[in-house]
Amino acid sequence: MLKHPDIEFIIADNQPITRRGILSILKEEGDDTYKIIAKKSDLIHCLSIISKKAIVIIDYTLFDLQSLDALINIGLRYQETRWIIFSSDLSEPFLRRAIAEENYSIVTKDASIEEIWHAINENIQGRQYICKQIQDLRIGKTTEDEHQNLTPVEKEILKSIAAGKTSQEIANDRCSSIHTIATHRKNIFRKIGVNNVLEATRYAVKSGLVNPSEYYI
């Protein structure tokens, strides 16, 4: 890998040992144009002022982000930016969603140095890179696989959530207590890897549980 003066690397990670490791790799490869960022607000500010193309190497699980949608929304604002998600604690729904976004690559923390080099080089060339460990998981993209881990009751409750119903309204419809619905809701969000109603509704639409024409997201 040669030095790339037209590219700025941004290391977005709150773990000092990880930052030093990535920094060491970049320096060994001759790339010394980089910034180290610890907060989302600083990341957005940095992307808004740099004049070069940026490659962001980010540990999603330790950084100042609430959801994958928050990360993707930043990417939509800065569409020439490429992202290397560097983590080992990502759910299958998260991985499936990230893989569908071409500007986002994924490397696990236990990947070899050579594989990390390869991921960086592929992104310099403008190509997505998914590390071998994630590829070996054979993350599927079919709608059947997408929601097969939900029970029939959970699917029905997810449909109601996507329809805009509150937990109390769902409880009334199902003649259940609100505490039961709250437990179902928590389990649904955990299984499909989302954090809020908006993400759950998007999931329901994309996985085919509801008709896209009936919902505005």
Domain boundaries, the chain: 7-136, 146-214
Residue closest to 84 by CA, chosen among 18, 1, 17, 5: 18
- Of residues 181 and 195, the one with the higher pLDDT is 181
Q: Please report how many Cα atoms fall inside a 13 Å half-sphere around the Cα of residue 213, on the Cβ side.
A: 0
Tokens representing residue 51 in the block: 């004049």
Across 1-18, average pLDDT: 77
Strands (E), 4-43: 7-12, 34-37
Is residue 172 predicted with pLDDT exceeding 80? yes
pLDDT 10s digits, 50-108:
888 899 999 887 788 878 888 888 988 898 999 999 887 777 777 877 887 889 999 98
User: What secondary structure does DSSP assign to 140-195, as a single string?
Assistant: ---HHHHTTTS-HHHHHHHHHHHTT--HHHHHHHHT--HHHHHHHHHHHHHHHT--
pLDDT band at 29; cut points 50, 70, 90? low
pTM for this entry: 0.62
Residues shown for the chain: 217
pLDDT 10s digits, 113-158:
889 889 999 999 999 999 888 887 755 443 444 455 789 999 999 9
Beta bridge mates, 110: none
Q: Looking at residue 10, what is its pLDDT? A: 92
Question: Would you identify the CATH topology of the domain 7-136?
Answer: Rossmann fold (3.40.50)
CA atoms of 120 and 114, how far apart (whole Å): 10
- Architecture per CATH, 146-214: Orthogonal Bundle (1.10)
Across 26-48, average pLDDT: 83
